[in-house]
């Protein structure tokens, strides 16, 4: 027997889970010698195809005095990134303007892992009835007020798409809301589930104002985009398995502010900060996805790479921070609505200038005699002219203490500089990097402590952090120190002992799944005192 989830679990899941695959097109009322079909679009850019085995299409019908559902448990097939998945009543099939189209499957001879069933309602129960051969009418148009077509898509029992066709108001019809719970027994190992329409919210569905009429259906004007459904006709016709148009920048119901800035500690990357500034309550929760726009600039396509995805529940969640892997590549910010489609796509140009020198690493240490050794590594060494080593004691005023000229080596090259400094509480170093075109950039600042350990002298690298915490701290002797990470409530999230070297030390700690996004504190302590610093976990 397959695992059965309780109804309460399904209700929670319906509010927070979005599938990759979106209902994209449907031919509900075919003309003579034509066949019903539907199309899904895979919004993901992942190289791993999406399995359709756990997806279920459910349609409500009112037919000759009978009411109930058609349940189409999709077979064990997959759909590739930015690909289309088509099911039809026969194979091959014909639609407006196209003949002999081959679908991924036909429900007249459904492949392994799937089935089509008709369930008729009798009071508070549903009974399965036999299907006729060559069934070409699972999207039966409903007569009267409200929706003409009622189509629902589930993944593992979670509602991921819902479409009311021929209905202009954004409200679940009463005749749907009042239906008794309906049990779906899935094939294979897929999750069995209940459907209880009384627990769903209006914002989990899409509404199409036009009624279809004869020889028509519905399709999105752009793949996966919310609110752009159109009725097919003799002019705008169906295109099963072919794009209806790319997801390009456009406005939606959610307002988002954003900015790209330098990322302290790693100048090869950038920091995206965004904030949902306004929206209607019904728009939440929304999924915000950030992509590097590596395909056709300005539209979301299969070449774009997903950088970050998170669910936002309200406008008061504040600024969200995402580390971008490149300081120059353009970015796409995608807002997905509770109904699973794209509320909007925002193209963000990355306005940071390219680095004149590609610095891969800059680090150093100080020994007990105050001898400072600096090491750095660059890529594309052939573009470099020289490095000026600058020193400061206050972090504002820097002076040049040495110059290192670039070697003739092509590709990656390592460099070093050292000097002994007089006693001072703190000394700081940075590189002034000059390329052969005389463009100038600066490295991050390294800080060394020449006297006793002082409080709050930890430096976090790449703050906010993602899956690991990297930081430096000072130790005035080779000794054991206690490392502790705790949240703002004082709960210890991590505690361990490490052996430190005399001088500056660099440590990297992995952050496991218990570290949810938020603000944390890292503490380094020994017999001489303690150092603390705050960091943000993405």
- Sign of CA pseudo-dihedral 293, 296, 300, 305: negative
Domain final residue pick, 449, 481, 506: 449
Based on the fold, state whether residues 478 and 432 are members of the same structural domain. Answer: no
Phi-psi region of 52 (alpha: psi -120 to 50; beta: other; left: phi over 0): alpha
The terminus-to-terminus CA distance of the chain in angstroms comes to: 39
Query: Residue 176: in which H helix or E strand, if any?
Result: helix 174-177
Residues 50, 42: Cα–Cα separation, whole Å: 7
SS3 assignment, position 49: coil
User: In DSSP terms, which residues pair with 73 in a beta bridge?
Assistant: 56, 115
Of 94, 122, 96, 120, nearest in space to 106 by CA: 94
Residue where a domain terminates, one of 330, 348, 366: 348
Query: 110 in a domain, yes or no?
Result: yes
> Cβ(126)–Cβ(111) under 8 Å?
no
Residue 278 and residue 393 share a domain: no
73 falls within a domain: yes
State which residues form the domain around 209: 7-231
* pLDDT value of position 249: 66
State the Cα–Cα distance between residues 248 and 479, nearest whole angstrom.
57
Residue 62 has what pLDDT? 96
| Same domain for 212 and 151 | yes
Is residue 242 domain-resident? no
Cα gap 287→39, rounded to integer Å: 23
Q: What is the mean pLDDT of each run of 10 residues along the chain (538 residues)?
A: 34 45 95 95 86 96 96 96 95 93 96 96 96 94 91 92 90 94 93 92 90 92 87 89 80 82 75 82 79 83 84 87 88 85 84 75 87 92 92 86 92 93 80 87 84 62 90 84 86 90 86 90 79 87
> Which two tokens mark 67?
């009411």
Q: Which of 317, 348, 379 is the last residue of a domain?
A: 348
**In this structure, are 219 and 150 located in the same domain?**
yes
Q: Which residue has the tokens 């990759």?
A: 20
Same domain, 344 and 362: no
On whether both 15 and 136 belong to a single domain, the answer is yes
Q: Is residue 328 part of a domain?
A: yes
How much is the pLDDT for 11?
A: 34
CATH number at residue 273: 2.60.40.10
51 plus 194 within the same structural domain: yes
Strand pairing report for 399-405 and 384-392: antiparallel
Q: For residue 342, what are its two tokens?
A: 């794209």
Domains in the chain: how many in total?
4
pTM surpassing 0.85?
Answer: no
Reported as half-sphere exposure (CB side, CA atoms, 13 A), residue 506 has a value of 11
Q: Do 202 and 283 belong together in one domain? A: no
Mark whether 63 and 191 lie in a shared domain.
Answer: yes
Question: Which two structure tokens, joined as six digits, stand for 361?
Answer: 């690493």
Cβ atoms of 519 and 533 closer than 8 Å? no
* Rounded-to-integer distance, Cα 232 and Cα 29, Å: 10
**Torsion-angle region of 225 (φ positive above 0: left; ψ -120 to 50: alpha; else: beta):** beta
| Cα-trace Rg, the chain | 30
Residue 333 domain-assigned? yes
Q: What is the CATH number of the domain that holds 478?
A: 2.60.40.2550
377 closest CA partner among 433, 309, 331: 433
Residue closest to 285 by CA, chosen among 12, 11, 15: 15
């Amino acid at each position: 027997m397959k695992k059965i989830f309780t109804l309460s679990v399904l209700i929670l899941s319906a509010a927070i889970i979005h599938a990759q695959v979106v209902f994209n097109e449907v031919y509900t009322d075919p003309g003579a010698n034509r066949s019903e079909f539907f199309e899904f679009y895979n919004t993901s850019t992942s190289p791993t195809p999406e399995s359709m085995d756990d997806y279920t299409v459910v349609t409500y019908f009112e037919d000759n005095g009978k009411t109930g559902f058609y349940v189409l448990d999709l077979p064990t097939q997959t759909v590739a990134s930015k690909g289309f998945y088509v099911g039809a009543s026969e194979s091959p099939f014909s639609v407006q303007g196209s003949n002999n189209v081959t679908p991924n499957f036909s429900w007249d001879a459904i492949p392994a892992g799937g089935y089509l069933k008709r369930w008729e309602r009798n009071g508070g129960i549903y009974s399965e009835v036999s299907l006729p051969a060559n069934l070409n009418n699972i999207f039966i148009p409903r007569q009267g007020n409200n929706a003409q077509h009622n189509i629902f898509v589930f993944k593992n029992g979670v509602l991921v798409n819902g479409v009311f066709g021929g209905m202009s108001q954004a409200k679940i019809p009463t005749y749907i809301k009042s239906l008794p719970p309906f049990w779906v027994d899935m094939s294979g190992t897929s999750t069995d589930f209940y459907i209880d329409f009384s627990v769903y919210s209006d914002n989990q569905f899409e509404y199409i104002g036009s009624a279809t009429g004869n020889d028509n259906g519905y399709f999105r004007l752009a793949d996966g985009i919310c609110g752009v459904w159109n009725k097919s006709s003799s002019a705008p016709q169906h295109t099963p398995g072919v794009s209806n148009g790319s997801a390009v920048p456009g406005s939606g119901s959610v307002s988002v502010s954003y900015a790209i800035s330098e990322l302290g500690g790693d100048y090869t990357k950038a920091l995206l900060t965004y904030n949902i500034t306004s929206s209607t309550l019904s728009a939440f929760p929304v999924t915000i996805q950030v992509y590097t726009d590596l395909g056709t600039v300005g539209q979301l396509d299969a070449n774009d790479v997903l950088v970050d995805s998170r669910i936002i529940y309200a406008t008061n969640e504040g600024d969200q921070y995402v580390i971008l892997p490149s300081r120059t590549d353009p970015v796409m910010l995608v807002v997905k609505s509770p109904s699973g489609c794209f509320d909007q796509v925002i193209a963000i140009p990355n306005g940071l200038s390219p680095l004149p020198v590609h610095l891969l690493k800059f680090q150093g240490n100080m020994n007990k005699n105050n001898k400072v050794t600096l090491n750095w590594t660059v890529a594309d060494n052939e573009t470099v002219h020289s490095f000026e080593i600058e020193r400061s004691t206050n972090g504002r005023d820097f002076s040049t203490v040495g110059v290192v000229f670039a070697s003739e080596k092509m590709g990656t090259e390592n460099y070093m500089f050292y000097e002994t400094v007089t006693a001072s509480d703190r000394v700081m170093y940075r590189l002034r990097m000059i390329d052969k075109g005389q463009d100038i950039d600066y490295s991050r600042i390294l800080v060394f402590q020449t006297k006793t350990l002082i409080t709050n002298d930890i430096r976090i690298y790449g703050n906010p952090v993602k899956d690991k915490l990297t930081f430096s701290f000072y130790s005035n002797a080779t000794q054991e120190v206690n490392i502790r990470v705790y949240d703002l409530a004082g709960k210890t999230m991590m505690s361990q002992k490490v052996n430190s070297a005399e001088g500056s030390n660099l440590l990297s700690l992995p952050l496991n799944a218990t570290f949810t996004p938020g603000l944390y504190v890292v503490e380094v302590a020994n017999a001489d005192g303690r150092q603390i610093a705050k960091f943000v976990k993405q």
